[in-house]
Amino acid sequence: MKEDAILVINEVSKYFEGLKALSKVTIEIPEKCIVGLIGPNGSGKTTLFNVITGFYPPDEGKILYKTLSGIFVDITGLNPHEVFKMGVIRTFQIPRLFPSLTVLENLLITPLNQRGESVVNSLRRSKWLREEEELVHRAVNLLKTFNRLNIASKYPSELSIGDIKLIETLRGLMTPARLYLLDEPLAGLDLHTARSLLRLIWKLNKNHGLTFLIVEHRVDLLMEIADFIYVLHNGSLLASGTPGEIINDPKVVRAYIGE
């Protein structure tokens, strides 16, 4: 196991009633890197996210996560909330915005922000208000970055598919974490917005040392920022390497052509 990994997926398998969605997949995510996870439809990418983040337990294999203190802990089979508390955030391929909340409210209701009304929090109300203010500031700045301040008070039902997807991803990025798993963040985005989002991810990685595992269908765009790529095919790891290696790998080209 490489010491610079933040996440190690070791021989993980997942079955759905006889269908092998993942078959002994071994992947290491180096810390402070942008790693791409690609593969044709149905190759198991989202299932891998679900298994990492505790939405499904794997049928075999282990998932290890390096905590801030540098020690690897076994997170196999933890529930989503426990994985989240360790500093792992995921976004969903099919966005999960709250339909009755505006865009701005959706950005503010990140999981960390759902404190409830505990006594301690009301005693620290001034601190709490300051944090709220900072969050609003952050959300507004994010919307400005994407020229989307005009949708701040709109509801999800009033947004284009691309904007719904963008807000889903920005909601994930609003929450402080160490490892972000983004499921097809560029889906439905126009080229300009897609490039802005890639630039933001790149900056968060370079300036704050955040780690990203990104599932993406628009492989050419992903390759502009990815340090390393893993390719899944029919639930198995087909190839791994730098973007340059992957793009020239005949196995990968064949897998996509056969789609």
Ligand X SMILES: Nc1ncnc2c1ncn2[C@@H]1O[C@H](COP(=O)(O)OP(=O)(O)O)[C@@H](O)[C@H]1O
Q: What are the distances in angstroms from CA 233 to CA 16, 89, 124, 238, 251? A: 16, 24, 51, 6, 10
Residue 42 touches which of ligand X, Mg ion, none (CB < 5 to 8 A by kind)? ligand X
Residue 43 touches which of ligand X, Mg ion, none (CB < 5 to 8 A by kind)? ligand X
Q: How far is the CB of 45 from Mg ion (least distance, A)?
A: 5
Q: How far is the CB of 234 from ligand X (least distance, A)?
A: 9
Q: How far is the CB of 125 from ligand X (least distance, A)?
A: 43
Nearer Cβ to Mg ion, position 37 or 166? 37
Nearer Cβ to Mg ion, position 151 or 214? 214
- Nearest 10 degrees: Cα torsion 66, 7, 111, 141: 100
Residue 21 touches which of Mg ion, ligand X, none (CB < 5 to 8 A by kind)? ligand X
Which residues, in sequence order, are bridge partners of residue 60? 13
Q: Decide if 243 contacts 223 (C-beta within 8 A).
A: yes
Nearer Cβ to ligand X, position 21 or 52? 21
Look at the block and give the residue holding tokens 């490892």. Answer: 179
Residue 192 CB contacts under 8 Å (≥ 6 apart), including other chains: none
Residue 13 touches which of Mg ion, ligand X, none (CB < 5 to 8 A by kind)? none
Residue 236 touches which of ligand X, Mg ion, none (CB < 5 to 8 A by kind)? none
Single-letter amino acid code for the residue at 5? A
Nearest alpha-carbon partner for 44 in 234, 257, 247, 243: 234
Residue numbers of the site for ligand X (CB under 6 A)?
Answer: 16, 19, 21, 39, 41-47
| Distance, C-alpha 98 to centroid of its chain | 18
Nearer Cβ to ligand X, position 206 or 251? 251
Q: How far is the CB of 166 from Mg ion (least distance, A)?
A: 18
Which residues, in sequence order, are bridge partners of residue 37? 215, 230
Q: How far is the CB of 84 from ligand X (least distance, A)?
A: 20
Nearer Cβ to Mg ion, position 45 or 233? 45
Q: Can you tell me whether residue 255 is helix, strand or coil?
A: helix
Sheet with 228-233: list strands edge to edge. Answer: 88-90, 179-183, 211-215, 34-38, 228-233, 236-241
Nearer Cβ to ligand X, position 39 or 95? 39
